[in-house]
Amino acid sequence: MKRSFLFTAITFLTLFIGLISFSPLTDANLVDDVLSQTNKFRKSKGLPALIINEDLNAIAQKHSINMAKKKVGFGHGGFSQRESQARKKVKPLYRFAENVAYGVTTGKQVVTMWKNSSGHRRNMLGRYKYIGIGIARDRQGRIFYTQVFAG
């Protein structure tokens, strides 16, 4: 009995460690990927790279979490509040924009989606200096993305 329990415990622990250690792309990697793909796109159009801003990241992250938890619907609801929060953090702030998406699993995929949408494309190519990126997963594992731009 003790031997059976010990074998089961070791097997479970091994499987558990294997599962939690297998993470092909963490959310931090995903943020870096979105930033890299966005700046690659801007560079291809002769525009300067955007600078990641931690205050904007927090604003974008909160929106992604709220969408993933269904506290707000998918989209731009609450945009004016996020803009107001950004105005308190980024000085001076002349322009503010936002892109949201969900469902795709890589930075390249989400940036490609945005590039193929005129409004999102315009935001990525706008006269902005800073970017914030937020990523959250819902219970089904779908990824919600938010980009906010400030300049």
Q: Check if the beta carbon of residue 57 is closer than 8 Å to that of residue 114.
A: no
Q: pTM (2 decimals)? A: 0.81
Map residue 64 onto helix, strand or coil. Answer: helix
Give 3-54 pLDDT, tens digit per residue. 554 444 444 444 444 333 333 346 789 999 999 999 999 999 999 999 999 9
pLDDT digits 0-9 by tens, 90-121: 999 999 999 999 999 999 999 999 999 999 99
Closest-CA residue to 95 (of 67, 56, 140): 56
Which amino acid is located at 32 in the chain?
D
Q: How far apart are CA 42 and CA 36, in angstroms?
A: 10
- Length of the chain in residues, anyone? 151
